[in-house]
């Protein structure tokens, strides 16, 4: 039976109690509006940890002034039931005033990795993410924290933050969960009209095509970039934000393809901004 708590004290007490019982604590930080992508994170935590906490908090600090903070979907009751189905032990759903009793003067920022891609398109976004995730780590004190590969830049930022600041935990990155037709699951997919939902498949198609080029031996990053860009731009309902080939740790554009590279795309469909990515590993000879 999943338990729902709203205060920092309650989640700390619950995790301390679980730890006294010898259980390993897993944290799945979310903004709610849960879908099967989150489900796969909860399932991964369930497999590896004796005590699974899902946090649900739409963090104002990571939204820009023109972004969708106010209309971001909030479905707490359904989310809690879903966490229960997936086997979570505790849902931590604080109010904004519990997390920010006064405006935060303290910020955690990760340089370089956040200069590109979503970091460039969404100024301040990753500073808001790193700050709230630091808070959640200090509140929940998990042994393992789970993030989705779908938000590849976020995962890279959090991994670097954990390493740089010596957070006493492991970051687990879980593969992107897709709809049967390939669309990466995202809470923002529910913003899509029927036509845009169909058009949004172009992100997956562009990545698959680029992977196929790479698998057939293409090694010029600019050719891959052009392919991604022109594929997305050929979809009239898509407005391209970025399409790039980057280093999966630093998120900097690569000049040659060696080792792992990450193909990353972002585009608007109507007002919804969607992202997706795929990792290509050069076969070892």
212: left (phi over 0), alpha (psi -120 to 50) or beta: alpha
Contact residues toward a copy of itself (CB under 8 A) are 8, 12, 104-113, 130-131, 134-135, 138-139, 141, 160-161, 164-168
Question: Residues with Cβ < 8 Å from 156, sequence gap 6 or more?
Answer: 113, 248, 249, 250, 251
Nearest distance from C-beta of residue 168 to a copy of itself, angstroms? 6
Nearest distance from C-beta of residue 12 to a copy of itself, angstroms? 7
The smaller minimum CB distance to a copy of itself, of residues 59 and 134, is found at 134
Q: Which of 230, 210, 231 is nearest to 221 (CA)?
A: 210
The smaller minimum CB distance to a copy of itself, of residues 157 and 213, is found at 157
Question: Residues with Cβ < 8 Å from 151, sequence gap 6 or more?
Answer: 275
Question: Can you tell me which residue has the tokens 């730890």?
Answer: 19
According to DSSP, residue 177 is labeled: P
Nearest distance from C-beta of residue 110 to a copy of itself, angstroms? 5
The smaller minimum CB distance to a copy of itself, of residues 134 and 189, is found at 134
Q: Is 38 a catalytic residue?
A: yes
Tokens of 112: 């370089």
* C-alpha to C-alpha distance for 87 and 283, rounded to whole angstroms: 37
Compute CA 157 distance to the chain's CA centroid, rounded to the nearest angstrom: 10
Tokens of 114: 């956040």
The smaller minimum CB distance to a copy of itself, of residues 101 and 180, is found at 101
Nearest distance from C-beta of residue 139 to a copy of itself, angstroms? 5
Nearest distance from C-beta of residue 173 to a copy of itself, angstroms? 18
The smaller minimum CB distance to a copy of itself, of residues 109 and 230, is found at 109
Nearest distance from C-beta of residue 114 to a copy of itself, angstroms? 9
Q: What are phi and psi of 167, to 5 degrees?
A: -60, 135
* C-alpha to C-alpha distance for 277 and 270, rounded to whole angstroms: 20
6, 38, 125, 216: the catalytic one is: 38
* C-alpha to C-alpha distance for 247 and 160, rounded to whole angstroms: 14
Cβ–Cβ under 8 Å, residues 43 and 7: no
The smaller minimum CB distance to a copy of itself, of residues 136 and 173, is found at 136
Q: Which of 28, 133, 142 is nearest to 86 (CA)?
A: 28
Catalytic residue list = 38
């Amino acid at each position: 039976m999943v338990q729902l708590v709203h205060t920092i004290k309650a989640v700390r007490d619950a995790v301390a109690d679980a730890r006294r019982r010898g259980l390993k604590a897993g944290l799945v930080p979310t903004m709610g509006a849960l879908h099967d992508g989150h489900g796969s994170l909860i399932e991964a935590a369930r497999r590896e940890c004796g005590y699974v906490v899902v946090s649900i908090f739409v963090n104002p600090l990571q939204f820009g002034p023109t972004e969708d903070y106010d209309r971001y979907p909030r479905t707490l009751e359904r989310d809690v039931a879903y966490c229960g189905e997936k086997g979570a032990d505790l849902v931590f759903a604080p109010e904004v005033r519990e997390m920010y009793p006064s405006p935060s003067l303290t910020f955690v920022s990760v340089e370089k990795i956040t200069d590109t891609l979503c970091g460039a398109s969404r100024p301040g976004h990753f500073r808001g993410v790193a700050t709230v995730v630091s808070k959640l780590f200090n509140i929940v004190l998990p042994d393992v924290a789970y993030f989705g590969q779908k938000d590849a830049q976020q995962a890279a930022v959090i991994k670097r933050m954990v390493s740089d600041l010596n957070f006493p935990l492991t970051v687990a990155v879980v593969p992107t969960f897709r709809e049967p037709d390939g669309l990466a699951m995202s809470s923002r997919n529910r913003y899509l009209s029927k036509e845009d939902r169909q058009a949004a498949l172009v992100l997956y198609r562009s990545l698959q095509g680029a992977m196929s080029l790479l698998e057939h031996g293409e090694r010029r990053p600019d050719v891959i970039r052009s392919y991604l860009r022109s594929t997305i731009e050929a979809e009239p309902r898509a407005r391209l934000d970025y399409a790039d080939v980057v280093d999966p740790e630093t998120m900097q554009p690569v000049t040659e393809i060696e080792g792992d590279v990450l193909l990353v795309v972002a585009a608007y469909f109507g007002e919804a901004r969607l992202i997706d990515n795929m990792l290509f590993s050069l076969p070892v000879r």
